[in-house]
Structure 1
């Protein structure tokens, strides 16, 4: 999935950052209409970032999920509704105990229409004061995307008892599953 064009004409891609990619990847992979959510790094300046590089905060990359989805089943706006429900878009460079520029909130758009939809949603959430604090989500075209190393893909699924997965990912996933129960893939 390293390119920005979809391999199927009826599929689209979205790239979202909201803290550790393990959380968002686990969430989006359970959502109807999502073909695949892939952990990766985006919108930095390093030409070939590794996890260790990104963790220094010096590459400019955010930890992201690249989501390939079927817009006939879930729209980009629907993905954003899940995105904003599953992370805090008001904390710059931070999600919970994860601190650093790589953990920023970001929507990295693939098309002009995605940028319009994202801007409208941010403006609506701001106007309605949904979060009680200003939304700091970065909105920019996707650039310099790199898939994360293979061991990061579906990490929470393969390591449910690892500390971070058990104490951070699992509660977020449970909250998501309860809130979006009607939109989950069948077990």
Structure 2
């Protein structure tokens, strides 16, 4: 089982979206690559912790490759926007790809380079090793499953299997 963490604006939609992809075995939302311990949603929303709202994925690389997950990721973010996606604004809504396995970096950078061809503006998506990840509060987990009319910047048509 492999792991990758994607930040792409509000984590509710990112999680719901990746749960539609065959080979994704488990997801959870939380806070990635910040500078405090055990942050709360309120602290992260205060823009001082350095965390990104993110979705932690575990996937079966025999069913889905990292390259495919990256392709799916680029479809639901505007990677040229700094610290925002949709109506969500703030550094916690930045785009980011956080890897656990150093061997994944080359695939990620190749994917970014290929994606850059689709944009005039520079891709600003943060790409780095995962420093830390803290689970978000229980009410955030699988939020759009529990609240199907909840806000999401990702088109609802992409959130169905």
Output the TM-score relative to the length of structure 2: 0.95
On the 8 A contact 1:107/1:140 being kept in 2, the answer is yes
On the 8 A contact 2:74/2:115 being kept in 1, the answer is no
Kindly indicate whether residue 89 of structure 2 is the aligned counterpart of residue 106 of structure 1. no
Q: Which residue of 1 aligns with 2:135?
A: 147
* Aligned match for 2:115, one of 103, 114, 125: 125
Q: Which residue of 2 aligns with 1:70?
A: 60
Kindly indicate whether residue 12 of structure 2 is the aligned counterpart of residue 29 of structure 1. no
Instruction: State how far apart, in whole Å, the 2-side matches of 1:42 and 1:142 are.
Output: 7
On the 8 A contact 1:86/1:176 being kept in 2, the answer is no
Compare CA radii of gyration and give the structure with the larger one: 1
1:125 Cα shift? 1.8
Which secondary structure does the structure 1 equivalent of 2:103 belong to? helix
CA RMSD of aligned residues (A): 1.3
Which secondary structure does the structure 2 equivalent of 1:39 belong to? strand
* Aligned match for 1:172, one of 135, 141, 155: 155
On the 8 A contact 1:40/1:146 being kept in 2, the answer is yes
On the 8 A contact 1:26/1:173 being kept in 2, the answer is no
Q: Which residue of 2 aligns with 1:95?
A: 85
- Greater mean deviation of Cα atoms: 13-22 or 153-162: 153-162
1:56 Cα shift? 0.6
Which secondary structure does the structure 2 equivalent of 1:22 belong to? helix
Instruction: State how far apart, in whole Å, the 2-side matches of 1:176 and 1:72 are.
Output: 23
**Relative contact order, higher structure (CA 8 A, sep 6+):** 2
Output the TM-score relative to the length of structure 1: 0.82
Q: Which runs of 5+ in 1 are unaligned?
A: 1-10, 178-183
List per-residue Cα deviations over 1:112-169 (Å, max 9, x = no partner): 121111111111222xx2133211000110012101111100001101134x2xxx35
Instruction: State how far apart, in whole Å, the 2-side matches of 1:94 and 1:103 are.
Output: 5
